[in-house]
């Protein structure tokens, strides 16, 4: 191999190393952007008010409507049949307990949901960190390969 061939080999090794480094930077940037999206998703979902979710609002609305209907029925029955204020109050207390139970159930579901969100977040984040680690390993291997190529080309140069 002549001087020109050795110089071309060295240039090829350097170009290959630069190309690999540029590709690694782009891949790293994409993964870091995905990691930020994962963080944003986690922050948004983990911290949202469970009672404001559509499913929870539907349960609360249905429970409240049922309570209003039962309260009206209890008041109507008391008026027609001569029931006592205490029986109406007992019905209202039981209905209020039903609303409290529904709210407690929503809170319990929210805790389980948060656990699932956290597990999903951690799984995604661990996978993204692993990808970043692989990029760093590949960059190190590309640099090592480029250095070996340059060294090999320099060793074959006639002096």
Query: pLDDT value at position 106?
Result: 87
Question: Taking a C-beta distance cutoff of 8 angstroms, is the pair 145, 5 a contact?
Answer: no
Query: pLDDT value at position 86?
Result: 78
Question: Taking a C-beta distance cutoff of 8 angstroms, is the pair 141, 17 a contact?
Answer: no
Residue 77 has pLDDT above 80, yes or no: no
71-87 in b/e form (b: 16+ CB < 10 A) is: eeebeeebeeeeeeeee
User: What is d(CA 118, CA 123) in angstroms, rounded to the nearest whole number?
Assistant: 9
Please name which of 149, 129, 148, 63 lies closest in space to residue 102, comparing C-alpha atoms.
63
97-141 per-position pLDDT tens digit: 888 888 888 888 888 999 999 999 999 999 999 999 988 888 777
Query: pLDDT value at position 94?
Result: 85
Domain map of the chain by residue range? 3-155
124: tokens are 């995604």
Question: Taking a C-beta distance cutoff of 8 angstroms, is the pair 137, 65 a contact?
Answer: no
Query: pLDDT value at position 125?
Result: 95
Q: How far is CA 7 from CA 17, 58, 112, 157, in A?
A: 15, 74, 64, 8
């Amino acid at each position: 191999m002549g001087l020109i061939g050795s110089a071309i080999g060295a240039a090829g090794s350097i170009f290959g190393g630069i190309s690999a480094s540029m590709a690694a930077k782009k891949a790293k940037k994409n993964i870091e952007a995905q990691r930020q999206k994962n963080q944003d998703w986690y922050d948004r979902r983990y911290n949202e008010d469970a009672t404001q979710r559509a499913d929870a609002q539907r349960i609360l609305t249905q429970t409240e409507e049922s309570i209003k209907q039962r309260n009206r029925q209890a008041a109507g029955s008391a008026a027609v049949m001569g029931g006592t204020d205490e029986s109406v109050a007992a019905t209202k207390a039981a209905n209020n307990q039903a609303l409290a139970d529904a709210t407690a159930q929503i809170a319990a579901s929210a805790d389980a949901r948060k656990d699932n969100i956290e597990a999903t977040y951690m799984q995604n984040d661990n996978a993204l960190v692993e990808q970043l680690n692989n990029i760093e390993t590949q960059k190190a291997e590309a640099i090592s390969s480029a250095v070996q190529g340059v060294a090999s080309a320099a060793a074959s140069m006639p002096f």
